[in-house]
Chains A and B, each alone.
Chain A
Amino acid sequence: MNTKLYRFLVLVVLAVLSYGTYMALVTAPTEETMGDAQRIFYYHVPAAVTAYTMFFINFVASILYLWKRSRVADTLAHACAEVGLVFATVVLITGPIWAHFAWGSWWAWDMRLTTFLVLWLLYLSYLVLRQSAEPGTSSVLASALAVIAFLDVPFNYLANRLFSTIHPPPVTLTAPMMKITLSVNMLAFMAFGALIAWFRYELGKTEHSITKLHLKKAAGGAGFAVLLPALFLFQVSDSPLSEEMRTAHARSHMMGGYIATWAIYIGYLLVLAMRVRRLQQEGAELLGK
């Protein structure tokens, strides 16, 4: 792992994410009907796109593994499935928070919602299989499941097509500033996802071959990655949002969605950090003997 490059990229992503968040929470114009609750959109949609991208990479890497048996493809597939699941969880949590404000109910058995929920279940079962398969066989079995799971997605969409959809169409943005805000956030979250996936990939590689050298580098990256989202919570608390709030209701939904989003991201990064520690201990024990 190129630690210098990684740290540089972390700084770049940190900057873009802060700018994107600033735009989403402060400079983007407030939507007329939904007020501040509409701002959930700026972290809901990028998370969904990132999750879909991760699952697609997982599918391609799984096929590559079945074909060439390359260890790199397998590790990449595992990393992408896990990171994709984290982003999908964010989508499934911020979505209902928005829906509670806009529709008055947390959940509706709507085409898009159902499809996404099933997608989430599919990749959860992928990770469960990874965990419980016998060590030697898990890569092959999981890759086969990944292929089947990806084939299932279009069927899912078609099967639920007959539910009438109340989910808003993909782009409901009117003001040009809103579109720019969405693009910046899209870029920021995609880069953020790619960065975590890269880190998770390195971690997977390290798990395969525990050496002290790898571990040192991985640990440095983890410290940085954990710091990153923590900064945002700090930024929110003293930003000049309160003046523009029209209703406390819209505000509480927006904040709730925001806090839930980052709780998940930070939670996942903490899990990764714990994994790094465990690997360090294992590595130290191995080297001690």
Chain B
Amino acid sequence: MNPPSITRLILANLSKDLRLEWRSRDVFNSMLFFALLVVVIFSFAFEPTTEEARRMTGGLFWVAFLFSTIVALNQSWARELRNGVLDAYRASPAASESLFFGKCFGNFIFVAMLECLMVPLFVLFYNLSAVGSLRQLAVVLLLGTWALVVNGTFFSAMSIRTRNRELMLPLLLLPVAIPAVVSMVKATTGILTGEFSPGAHIKFLAAYCVVFTAACFMLFDLVLNAE
């Protein structure tokens, strides 16, 4: 019998994650509630007018997602620790990259669904209307989410190997994510206010995604099997 291809392994991992999430819904519900709370608290804290809101929303939006992504990512590997699933992965002959990308795609789907639900809420609470093109906004959302998810999945795999598991993920992820967050926020602000073109930031974000996906891909095996 031929060994299954990497695509099939990724799909198997992904469908397992989705099925687990569909049955328990614990990650998605807590992530959604958390993001909702962040949006509400931000709007109480800043009370923005429409013109101010356009300038601020880029930042608020991505900070809310960054925090909710951290909530989701902590759960995504922690559930593999129960019943020694992670050890089973290590012992299995399947390529560890398939596990990594399966997790990445799974987390990407969760966070993307969260964004689809939260964008209308942002529009509602902050009376938003974008001046720039919505197509560009979609590209920024996709690239930004991938940048957060790929690094986040990698660092949460790293942080479960440490003593203070949940606490460690933001400490590792946030410094590395700063350049990505800067460009996401700038691109989003550029699109919402129409004051400057977001083109350079989108290209930058794409380059960031490529480089860090490659780096995480190459280093994941070492992190998973670290002894």
Residues of chain A touching chain B, judged by Cβ–Cβ distance below 8 Å, are 66, 118, 121-122, 124-125, 128-129, 132-134, 136-137, 140-141, 143-145, 147-149, 151-152, 155-156, 158-160, 162
Report the minimum CB–CB distance from B48 to chain A (whole Å). Answer: 21
Are the CB atoms of A155 and B227 closer together than 8 Å?
A: no
Which residues of chain B come closer than 8 Å to A128, judged between CB atoms?
168, 171
Q: B residues 88-112 with Cβ under 8 Å of A? A: none
Q: When chains A and B are docked, how far (Å) is the Cα of A156 from the Cα of B175?
A: 10
Is A134 within 8 A of B163, CB to CB? yes
User: What's the nearest-Cβ distance from chain A to residue B38, in Å?
Assistant: 22
State whether A140 touches B223 (Cβ < 8 A).
Answer: yes
A151 close to B186 (CB less than 8 A): no
Q: Report chain A residues within 8 Å CB of B154.
A: 148
The answer to whether B172 has its CB under 8 Å from any CB of chain A is: yes
A61 and B219 alpha carbons, distance in the complex (Å) = 16
Given contacts A140-B223, A159-B204, contact A132 B176 (CB under 8 A): no
**B127: CB under 8 A from chain A?**
no
In-complex Cβ contact of A144 among B174, B179, B223 (8 A): B223
Q: What mask results when residues 13 to 24 of chain B are scored 1 for a CB within 8 Å of chain A, else 0?
A: 000000000000
Q: How far is the CA of A155 from the CA of B180 in the complex (A)?
A: 8
Whether B175 and A159, one on each chain, are in contact in the complex, defined by CB atoms closer than 8 angstroms, is: no
Question: Contacts A118-B175, A125-B171, A148-B215: A133 and B204 contacting too (C-beta < 8 A)?
Answer: no
| Other-chain residue from B172, B178, B216 in contact with A156 (beta carbon distance below 8 A) | B178
A-B contact count (CB 8 A): 91
- Residues B158 and A144 in contact, CB atoms below 8 Å apart: yes
A143 to B211, CA, bound (A): 17
Contact B227 A159, beta carbon cutoff 8 Å: no
B111 to chain A, nearest CB (A): 20
Cβ contact within 8 Å between B227 and A140: yes
In the complex, what residue of chain A is closest to B218 when comparing beta carbons? A147
Query: Counting CB contacts under 8 A, is B162 at the interface?
Result: yes
Known: A156-B178, A156-B179, A159-B183. Contact between A145 and B158, CB under 8 A? yes
In the bound complex, CA of A148 to CA of B216 (Å): 8
Closest-CB distance, B67 to chain A (whole angstroms)? 17
Given contacts A141-B226, A148-B219, contact A132 B172 (CB under 8 A): no
A109 CB → nearest B CB, Å: 11
- Contact status A136-B227, CB under 8 Å: yes
> Which of A118, A143, A148, A158 is most buried by chain B, counting CB atoms within 10 A of its CB?
A148
B211 engages A132 (CB within 8 Å): no
Q: Does B161 belong to the interface (CB within 8 Å)?
A: yes
| Complex CA–CA separation, A2 to B174 (angstroms) | 41
B222 at interface (Cβ–Cβ under 8 A)?
yes
Complex CA gap A66/B226 in Å reads 10
B222 x A151 contact (CB < 8 A): no
Supply 30 A–B pairs (Cβ within 8 Å), ascending by A. Answer: A118-B175, A122-B176, A129-B168, A129-B172, A132-B164, A134-B163, A137-B161, A137-B226, A137-B227, A140-B222, A140-B223, A140-B226, A140-B227, A141-B158, A141-B161, A143-B222, A144-B219, A144-B223, A145-B158, A147-B219, A148-B219, A152-B175, A152-B178, A155-B180, A155-B207, A155-B208, A159-B183, A159-B204, A160-B182, A162-B186
B34 touches A (CB below 8 Å): no
The answer to whether A158 touches B179 (Cβ under 8 A) is yes
Complex Cα distance, B168 from A151, in Å, reads 20
A241 to B151, CA, bound (A): 52
Q: Is there a chain A Cβ closer than 8 Å to B42's Cβ?
A: no
Known contacts A122-B175, A158-B179: does B162 contact A129 (CB below 8 Å)? yes
- Asked if B77 CB lies within 8 Å of chain A CBs, one says no
Contacts of A66 in B (CB 8 A): 219, 222
Shortest A145–chain B CB gap in Å is 7
- Report the separation of the CA atoms of residues A162 and B185 in the bound assembly, to the nearest whole angstrom: 13
* B217, chain A: closest CB distance, angstroms: 12
Please indicate the chain B residues that have their CB under 8 angstroms from the CB of A144 in the complex. 158, 219, 222-223
Contacting residue for A118 out of B178, B204, B216, B219, CB 8 A? B178
Shortest distance from the beta carbon of B162 to any chain A beta carbon, whole Å: 5
Once A140-B227, A144-B222, A148-B176 are accepted as A-B contacts, the answer to whether A159 and B182 lie under 8 Å apart by CB is yes
Task: Kindly list 5 other residue pairs between chains A and B, CB separation below 8 angstroms, not including A122-B176, A148-B151, A158-B204.
Answer: A122-B175, A124-B175, A129-B168, A159-B178, A159-B180
Within B192-227, the residues touching A (CB, 8 Å) are: 200, 204, 207-208, 211-212, 215-216, 219, 222-223, 226-227
Closest to B159 in A: A129
Residues in A with CB closer than 8 Å to B162 are 129, 132-134, 141
Partner of B176, one of A137, A152, A160: A152
Complex interface: chain A residues within 8 A of B180 (CB)? 155, 159
Residues of B within 8 A of A158 (CB): 179, 204
